[in-house]
Amino acid sequence: MAVNRELAEQKEIFAAYLKKKKLKITRQRQVILDNFLKTEGHLSTEELYNQVRQKDRTIGYATVSRTMKALTDAGLAREIDLGDSRSRFEPLYKRPHHHHIICVECQKAIEFLSPELEQLQEQVVSRYRFRPLRHHFQVFGVCEDCQEHRPVRLEDFDSDLVFARDALRIALQTERNGVNFYQALATAAKDPRGKKAFLDMAAEEGKHLRELEGEWDALIKRNKRILKAPEFLHFDYNELNRLFPSPEELQKRGVERLSLEEALHLALSMEQGAHSFFKRYAERFNDTRGKSIFQKFAEEELEHCDLIQQECDRLLGPSNPSSPA
């Protein structure tokens, strides 16, 4: 559910929209707006109508339908087709762009986002010199529960919270890889100055790891239910192993034969790679909690770059040409 500040922002947007259209903010419109903004998932006009009728018997179906069209027009809702020929809407404001996998029997909709899929679409579209405005991607099928004739679990989740959960998971995994990477470099280092530098970096990554774990705990404590939500952000975890090679991979690359200079340069290029990867990654998303998690993470990786650069200057001399491009 959107936080209070976001609820207020959306109400302001809707008020401004109504004013522009010379329409009044009636009590009925207010009730419909409040109900819609507080829902998660994909609400049909009928479902919303039934909800608001419990609060105000004077609200008619046509008013609900017109208000939803207005909310869509104002950019606060998106109409979606779950293949059941009902008009359905989902909140749009500060929600991550996503796609749906829809069960044609129970109408359950699983939401997902795959940056690889987005990139592929962009490539194809740009080949036609097309300027894309929006797109939908829906897969219709039969869910696991319906295939097995099990009772259906219909649950809706706030896509932004689930996106934030998945973003934190990726950041946590990257930090863990970072700690392991520096510990492996420290173990392999012959030069005591190098050993110390890498242990310090492992401690630094460990500090960030604990901060991220704190964020994770806070997110989950407030929203225990989202642990049950299916994976939303489909991420290629192999990418993380390219950013910070595992201790086994380092072994294969002959890490213990690296000179101090080579080891520092390896660390620097890994940090730079991680920074630019997460910076570019964050740019793909619209304004959401998940995006800001990735942005903040990219900034932290930049701090690590600076720390390694300082070690390079200190241990190899300031003339050493390893400054980030």
> Is 103 one of the binding residues for Zn ion (CB under 5 A)?
yes
Distance CA 31, CA 54 (A): 10
Query: Among all chains, which residue has been given the structure tokens 């630019």?
Result: 276
- Piece of 81-89, 109-117, 182-190, 288-296 that binds Zn ion (CB under 5 A): 109-117
- Piece of 31-39, 97-105, 244-252, 283-291 that binds Zn ion (CB under 5 A): 97-105
Distance CA 176, CA 116 (A): 24
Handedness of CA 34, 35, 36, 40 (dihedral sign): positive
> Is 271 one of the binding residues for Zn ion (CB under 5 A)?
no
- Piece of 140-148, 204-212, 221-229, 266-274 that binds Zn ion (CB under 5 A): 140-148
Residue type for position 6: E
Q: Which of 34, 56, 105, 213 binds Zn ion (CB under 5 A)?
A: 105
Contact at 8 Å (CB) between 267 and 306?
no
3-state secondary structure of 201: helix
Distance CA 264, CA 182 (A): 10
> Is 111 one of the binding residues for Zn ion (CB under 5 A)?
yes
Q: Which of 13, 92, 106, 199 binds Zn ion (CB under 5 A)?
A: 106
Binding flags for Zn ion, 40-79, as an x/- string (CB under 5 A): ----------------------------------------
Q: Which is nearer to Zn ion, 47 or 313 (CB)?
A: 47
Nearest to 291 by CA among 231, 220, 222, 233: 233
- Piece of 60-68, 88-96, 291-299, 303-311 that binds Zn ion (CB under 5 A): 88-96
Strands, E, within 113-258: which ranges? 138-141
Q: Which of 68, 82, 143, 167 binds Zn ion (CB under 5 A)?
A: 143
Interacting residue ranges for Zn ion, rule: CB under 5 A:
90, 103, 105-106, 108, 111, 118, 143, 146
